[in-house]
Amino acid sequence: MTIKQKLNRESTAGYVFILPFIIGFLAFTIIPIFFSFALSFTSYDVLSAPKFIGIDNYVQMFTNDSKFWKSMGVTFYYALVSVPLRLIFALLVAMILVRPSKASGVYRAIYYLPSIMGGSVAVAVLWKRLFASDGAINALLQLVGIPCKIAWLSNTSTAIWTLIILAVWQFGSSMLIFLSGLKQIPVTYYEAATIDGAGKMKQFFSITLPMLTPVIFFNLVMQLINGFMAFTQCYIITQGKPLDSTLFYTVYMYQNSFQFNQMGYGCAMAWVMLLIVALLTGVLFKTSNNWVYYASK
Amino acid sequence: MNYTQRKKIGTVIYHILICFFGIVMIYPLLWMVMSSFKDNTEIFTNAKSLIPKTFELTNYSTGWAGFGGISFSVFFRNSFVICILATVGTVISSAVIAYGFSRCNFKLRGFWFACMIVSMMMPFQIIMIPQFIIFKQLNWVGTFAPLIVPYFFGLPFGIFLIMQFIRGIPRELDEAAKIDGCSIYGIFVRVILPLIVPALVTTAIFSFMWRWDDFLAALLYLNKPSFYPVSLALKMFSDPSAQSNWGSMFAMASLSLIPIFVIFITMQKYLVEGISTTGMKD
């Protein structure tokens, strides 16, 4: 068989086609991951060679770094509050907008716009100004008669909420996903339910919600991962202030590795987060059999 | 009140409510654009009003001048160079990989597909430190390469999207071309590629928008202001150490959203399609 013939066999051609992925996967995911694992047992400041220190980084992290625990708590709070809230909003608005009307295209666009721009630096900078004590939010609250002078960003109990609101505000893409999911539910299900005397509430909990669970599940997993990894918003808007009450895990990791030059410690932090994310994803997948409904089963 | 009347009132209330919340949703963006026309002190004293007392364009001219002698035309050019090159890489590589996964039978296909799911779920933040060290060894830090080259090895979102699209193309077309003497590579270039253009456009749009917003990678790898993309320049512009001129800040921030907004207005069909076929946003 000539090389040309060999290359034209599916078994070879397949590898030729996915070769870029294999190279990229090894070079940009697998090798860095193991490299990071090795570095997590060293003390490394970039300038001199890494020094092996065993599990000291991990010991330090768990026993002697209150900022580590603080940032872990903040990140969990942020992800576990903002992601479910965003999904609930997305579903609610999708249920309202699914009703066909002449303007529904325009409405869909308006609600989708923030999620397209919300991740940008421009909006992060804007948020800083909106929630300043002399910013637009307070000005508007005063306009409707609430004498509000709260310094949202410098108060330990409200600062994290400005970031949560920013995350929830971007519910648009999830809304679009739910909209297309809603349209795929056969109308006959609802007709049958109506004939059987099921009310709107009952229909929602017995038809709509179960039919959407695969989509909800997938988005919950992906958005939780992204939530744990949020960086830009915290880095630009609050920088972890006040009193570390908004210090995201990734921002603390960034500070350790690139500002304090403790790359080994940063790698150890990355591995702890990787294990947490993997564990959480695993648990979600394990429990998914109990609450995710797949029509094909 | 009869049934039709009640229904009409219901519809009116429905539209009023949706419009009201719609305004709440886009109010922050409107406020930013409007503030960019306000006089610098008016942003503070007149924060509640959306309409500026007088429309000023000075914010745009002072903002465009940038900082450190580098104007925003440089930052915009950098952003466009990075985004366009990374997007070209993403589209080409994702199309090739997607074709391999969906039309070829090869050993360990399931395994490699699983690897792709892993790489999709693997956050950049986890591998950024070792990646930084590797790129530093390659002397890539301070250049655009770390922001562009990795995208020439496929983007899982794009691969998924294109795979979904290829699945809808009947295999009879492949077989007809094969009988006519077309190789597997010929089938890809001549039969499949022309048919998946919409999926390629969708992938390109998402890739461009994500790269445009990308901040962390630029923050890590670029150290000279003349190499900064718009996102990083805005951050530096807003730092208190630089002159905090909110008016020109908002002017540049508004400008930075224009490319995204243009895509949003002109390509909405593709955006909606991309999100609903993959069921994910990133």
Minimal-distance CA residue of chain A relative to B238: A125
Best CA proximity match to A267, nearest among B134, B108, B259: B134
Minimal-distance CA residue of chain A relative to B254: A122
Highest-pLDDT range among B157-171, B233-247, B266-280: B157-171
Handedness of CA A8, A12, A17, A23 (dihedral sign): negative
Ranges of beta strands (E only) in chain A are 42-43, 51-52
Segment B16-24 shows an average pLDDT of 91
Q: Which of B100, B250, B271 sits opposite A14 (nearest CB)?
A: B100
* Look-up of token digits 């026993």: A63
Backbone dihedral angles phi then psi of residue A98, each to the nearest 5 degrees: -70, -25
Greatest Cα pair distance, chain A, in angstroms, is 85
Handedness of CA B172, B176, B177, B182 (dihedral sign): positive
Q: List CB contacts (< 8 A) between B256 and chain A.
A: 120-122
* ipTM of predicted assembly, 2 dp: 0.86
Q: Which of A28, A129, A135 sits opposite B153 (nearest CB)?
A: A28
Which pLDDT score, from 0 to 100, does residue B243 have?
Answer: 53
Which pLDDT score, from 0 to 100, does residue B50 have?
Answer: 77
Cα distance between residue A154 and residue B202, in whole Å? 41
> Any chain A CB within 8 A of the CB of B13?
no
Number of domains in chain B: 2
Cα distance between residue A21 and residue A79, in whole Å? 30
Express as a percent the part of chain A with pLDDT over 90.
Answer: 37
Q: List CB contacts (< 8 A) between B214 and chain A.
A: none
User: Which fold does the domain A67-291 belong to in CATH?
Assistant: MetI-like fold (1.10.3720)
pLDDT at B279 over 80: no
Best CA proximity match to B201, nearest among B266, B142, B120, B146: B266
pLDDT in tens, B52-89: 777 888 888 888 888 878 889 999 999 999 999 999 99
pLDDT at A229 over 50: yes
User: Residue B23 belongs to what domain range?
Assistant: 3-63
pLDDT at B270 over 90: no
Best CA proximity match to A207, nearest among A227, A183, A190: A190
CA distance B226 to chain A (A): 18
Q: Do A114 and B212 touch (CB under 8 A)?
A: no
Best CA proximity match to A213, nearest among A280, A297, A111: A297
B147 and B204 part of one domain = yes
pLDDT in tens, A1-45: 677 777 888 888 899 999 999 999 999 999 999 999 999 999 888
pLDDT at B241 over 70: no
Segment B196-223 shows an average pLDDT of 92
Q: Do B281 and A115 touch (CB under 8 A)?
A: yes
B130 and B209 part of one domain = yes
Express as a percent the part of chain A with pLDDT over 70.
Answer: 99
B216 and B96 part of one domain = yes
Q: Do A119 and B131 touch (CB under 8 A)?
A: no
* Look-up of token digits 């790698």: A267
B23 and B73 part of one domain = no
pLDDT at A193 over 50: yes
B95 and B53 part of one domain = no
* Look-up of token digits 């090795």: A38
Cα distance between residue A147 and residue A248, in whole Å? 31
Backbone dihedral angles phi then psi of residue A175, each to the nearest 5 degrees: -60, -45
Cα distance between residue B207 and residue A37, in whole Å? 30
Q: Write out the DSSP string of A39-82.
A: HTTEE--SSS--EE-TTHHHHHHHHH-HHHHHHHHHHHHHHHHH
Cα distance between residue B133 and residue B139, in whole Å? 10
Q: Do A103 and B15 touch (CB under 8 A)?
A: yes
> Any chain A CB within 8 A of the CB of B134?
yes
Q: Which two tokens stand for residue A282?
A: 């695993």
Q: Mapping DSSP to helix (H, G, I), strand (E, B) and coil, where does residue A128 land?
A: helix
Segment A276-289 shows an average pLDDT of 88
B37 and B167 part of one domain = no
Mutate to test the interface with B, among A17, A106, A272, A274 (most CBs of B within 10 A): A17
B99 and B228 part of one domain = yes
Best CA proximity match to B121, nearest among A102, A278, A43, A252: A278
Backbone dihedral angles phi then psi of residue A194, each to the nearest 5 degrees: -65, -45
Cα distance between residue A11 and residue A1, in whole Å? 14
pLDDT at A183 over 80: yes
Tell me which amino acid residue A157 is.
S
Split at pLDDT 50, 70, 90, the class of A84 is very high
Q: Which of residues 150-189 of B touch A (CB under 8 A)?
A: 150, 152-154, 159, 183-185, 188
Q: Write out the DSSP string of B173-240.
A: HHHHHHHTT--HHHIIIIIIHHHTHHHHHHHHHHHHHHHHH--HHHHHH--SGGG--HHHHHHHHHST
Computed over every residue of chain A, the mean pLDDT equals 88
Minimal-distance CA residue of chain A relative to B188: A17
Which pLDDT score, from 0 to 100, does residue B151 have?
Answer: 94
Segment A157-163 shows an average pLDDT of 90
Best CA proximity match to B143, nearest among B217, B235, B67, B237: B217
Q: Mapping DSSP to helix (H, G, I), strand (E, B) and coil, where does residue A101 land?
A: coil
Radius of gyration of chain B (CA): 24
* Look-up of token digits 């009116």: B12
Split at pLDDT 50, 70, 90, the class of A297 is very low
B81 and B200 part of one domain = yes
Cα distance between residue B227 and residue A1, in whole Å? 51
B48 and B156 part of one domain = no
B21 and B157 part of one domain = no
* Look-up of token digits 């994310």: A277
Express as a percent the part of chain B with pLDDT over 70.
Answer: 96
Split at pLDDT 50, 70, 90, the class of B181 is confident
Segment A37-59 shows an average pLDDT of 88
Which pLDDT score, from 0 to 100, does residue B240 have?
Answer: 63
B148 and B262 part of one domain = yes
Backbone dihedral angles phi then psi of residue A7, each to the nearest 5 degrees: -65, -25
